Amino acid sequence: MPSLNANGIRIAFDTAGDPKAVPLLLISGLGLQLTAWPDEFVEGLVELGFYVIRYDNRDVGLSTKFEQAGTPSLGLAWLKSLVRWPIRPPYTLNDMADDAVGVLSALGVARAHVVGVSMGGMIGQVMAARFPSRVLSLASIMSSSGRRGLPGPNPEVKRAMMRRPGGDADAMIEHGVRLLQAIASPTYPTPEKQLRRRVARALRRNCCPGGVVRQVLAVAAGGDRTAQLHTIAAPTLVIHGAADPMVPPACGRDTAEAIPNARLEVIEGMGHDLPTQLLERLLALIDAHAHGKMTPDSTPPRLFVKQ
């Protein structure tokens, strides 16, 4: 896997498609490696004429880890957030947006369409607000503005997130599978065998639990980004699952309302994942958005999102 120097760290990356095609940057979510993007999704973007760039965020995958910062206490961070005390993470969402811009610069890409999921959507939002000249368009998927008062994960997801797996590989795979099942799209389930292969593949590539905690802290410290979102000038598409148990749909609606002229697409039956059954629909939405084919009051028939 190739890597590059950006923003003072090493970042593992991968590209697909013709480097002369229109660049599209994929930004992964919390704890997810670049390999979490479905191969069919990446191949679909290439077929649509994009030069696809994906990378491991700091503290996951094969990119630089921040182990010297230790593993912060999420409980303490939660208490601080309740009383509105400042949270001081090892790095911030601003740093992670700087990483994204650094990846583009290292690859000689001046501007790109940006697609981010969950935490990756937050990074994309910050990137679009702080570096408007680098973002052709933004697609924020299953993400949030961070505004206080928005709903959080449902109880089942909270329990799955709080569980700590045993030290052996089988226990860690089991934990990963149960978490993916808790956040999955109820109308578009992924077979357990497939989930198990996906988790095992990720663990073989890299495992850094402390990095995931440090990323959580960066999100928590980011707080309310509404004021930043008001400044985004790039054409923005907000995609959210109506059945998202991790980041409820109210968070998507709030994000779309905060970004000027943003378009919101709520997909019935979709949870907090990218199920195979929805990849064609997501590709069509992103393609239409990136090429300016979407209008404020109409959706092309093939993009109709209701079941």
Residue 89 main-chain phi, psi, to 5 deg:
-80, 165
Asked which of 17-21, 210-214, 228-232 is least confident by mean pLDDT, the reply is: 210-214
- List the beta bridge partners of residue 3: 12
Summarize the confidence of residues 11-40 as an average pLDDT: 97
Tens of pLDDT, residue by residue over 95-105, are: 999 999 999 99
pLDDT band at 82 (very low <50, low <70, confident <90, very high): low
Which tokens go with 134?
């680098």
Q: Given a cut of 50, is residue 66 above it in pLDDT?
A: yes
Q: Given a cut of 80, is residue 299 above it in pLDDT?
A: no
Contact assessment for residue 275 and residue 36, using Cβ atoms and an 8 Å cutoff:
no
Summarize the confidence of residues 144-165 as an average pLDDT: 89
pLDDT of residue 218: 94
* CA gap 35, 42 in Å, rounded: 10
Summarize the confidence of residues 157-164 as an average pLDDT: 83
- Output DSSP code: residue 301: G
Summarize the confidence of residues 188-207 as an average pLDDT: 95
50-55: strand order across its sheet: 3-6, 9-16, 50-55, 22-27, 112-117, 135-141, 236-241, 263-267
Q: Given a cut of 70, is residue 74 above it in pLDDT?
A: no
Summarize the confidence of residues 28-50 as an average pLDDT: 97
- Closest Cα to residue 264, out of 223, 307, 305? 305
- Beta-strand pair 3-6/112-117: unpaired
pLDDT of residue 304: 31
Q: Given a cut of 70, is residue 79 above it in pLDDT?
A: no
List the domains of the chain with CATH numbers. 3-303 (3.40.50.1820)
End-to-end Cα spacing for the chain = 40
Summarize the confidence of residues 181-192 as an average pLDDT: 96
Q: Given a cut of 80, is residue 260 above it in pLDDT?
A: yes
Which tokens go with 56?
């491991």
Q: Given a cut of 70, is residue 72 above it in pLDDT?
A: no
pLDDT of residue 298: 36
Asked which of 75-79, 128-132, 181-185, 192-196 is least confident by mean pLDDT, the reply is: 75-79
pLDDT of residue 264: 98
pLDDT band at 296 (very low <50, low <70, confident <90, very high): very low
Q: To the nearest whole number, what is the mean pLDDT of the chain?
A: 91
Identify the residue whose tokens are 């790109």.
Answer: 112
pLDDT band at 297 (very low <50, low <70, confident <90, very high): very low
Contact assessment for residue 116 and residue 124, using Cβ atoms and an 8 Å cutoff:
yes
